[in-house]
Chains A and B, each alone.
Chain A
C-alpha cells in the first residue's frame, strides 16, 4: 500500500480549497471545455458525502434544480475545479446525509452551524 501512496504523491498537485464536510453548502467553479474555449460554470449545492483518500478522493454535491434533484460527483484533485467557496456550514449528525434525498421543500433544510 505504501508504494502506491508514493506513486500517487508524485502526481498530486497543491490545492488550497477551504475545509468543508457533509452538510455544508458550497459553490464550485468548474471549468468546462467547449470546442477549444474554456468557460467557468458555478455549481452550488449541499455536500452529501466526502469519499475516499489520497488522489482518488471525491465529494458529492446535491442541489434541486427545477424541482428535480441533481447530484454531481467531483474528484477533489481534479484540475478542472477552479475554486470552491463555502457558503454555509451545516449542522448535521452524520458523515453521509443520504436522508436528504427523501426530503422535499421545507423539510430539506439544514440547520446552520453558528460559531
Chain B
C-alpha cells in the first residue's frame, strides 16, 4: 500500500457546502525521501523505505550518515517501509500529491499514554452495577479472575489493570477533505490517534 509518513498538527472544524460542521484533523504529510528500494532479488520482498523529518547532522551516527548519503539526502528522524505499485528511484521525493481529495485513507498513530489504569478504562469492563445493596468500595473492581481448585491458576491473557495507551492504533475510513500542497497539509474528516506533533503513517 502506498503511503506517507507525517505529523499530526491538530484538530479543527470546517463547514461543508450543506452547512454542516465537520470535525477534522490537520496532518502534515511528507515530503518524504526514498532512502532504500528493496527488491525480491536482494531482500526477498518488495518495499520502499521512506524517510521523514529533518535531523541535525551532528546527532546522526556514522551508520545513519552512510545510509542517508547513499540516497544523497540529509539525515532524517523517521523511517518507514511502504509498498508502492509504481517503481520509485533512490533519493526521489514523495509528496502529498499521491493522495487525492475525496479519497479514503487509513492513519496509524501512537495513542496517548494513560499510565496505570484499571479494567474499566483499560478493557471497558462495566464495573459493579449499583452503588446500593451493601456495596461500598468495589465499584470499579474486575471481579473474579477464575475458578478455584481447577485450574488453580489464573489463565494467561486474563484482562487486568495495567499500563494503558501508547500503543499503535489504526483508524481507517478517513476521508480526505482537502490537500494543501504548498505546506504539505492534508485535512481528513474525523480524529486520529496520538498527541499533536506525533508521527503518523498515512496509507491509501
| Chain A residues in 8 Å Cβ range of B28 | 3
Nearest B residue (CB) for A1: B10
Of B9, B13, B21, the residue contacting A3 (CB under 8 A) is B9
Interchain Cβ contacts under 8 Å between A and B, 15 examples: A1-B10, A3-B9, A3-B26, A3-B28, A6-B183, A7-B180, A8-B12, A8-B14, A55-B14, A56-B13, A78-B15, A78-B21, A79-B17, A79-B19, A80-B19
Shortest CB-to-CB span from A43 to chain B, Å, is 16
Q: Are B15 and A3 neighbours in the complex by a CB distance under 8 Å?
A: no
Number of chain A residues close to chain B: CB under 8 A: 18
Interface membership of B51, Cβ < 8 A: no
- In chain B, positions 1-46 with a C-beta closer than 8 Å to chain A are 9-10, 12-15, 17, 19, 21, 26, 28
| Chain A residues in 8 Å Cβ range of B183 | 3, 6
Chain A 1-39 near chain B by CB (<8 Å), digits 1 or 0 = 101101110110100000000000000000100000000
Shortest CB-to-CB span from A78 to chain B, Å, is 6
**Most central of A1, A3, A4, A31 by chain B CB within 10 Å:** A3
Shortest CB-to-CB span from A53 to chain B, Å, is 11
Q: Are A4 and B9 neighbours in the complex by a CB distance under 8 Å?
A: yes
- Interface SS, B side: strand
On B, residues with C-beta under 8 Å from A are 9-10, 12-15, 17, 19, 21, 26, 28, 178, 180, 183, 185, 187
A31-B15 Cα distance, complex, nearest whole Å: 15
Chain A 46-66 near chain B by CB (<8 Å), digits 1 or 0 = 000000001110000000000
Of A7, A10, A79, the residue contacting B9 (CB under 8 A) is A7
Q: Are B12 and A3 neighbours in the complex by a CB distance under 8 Å?
A: no
Nearest A residue (CB) for B14: A11
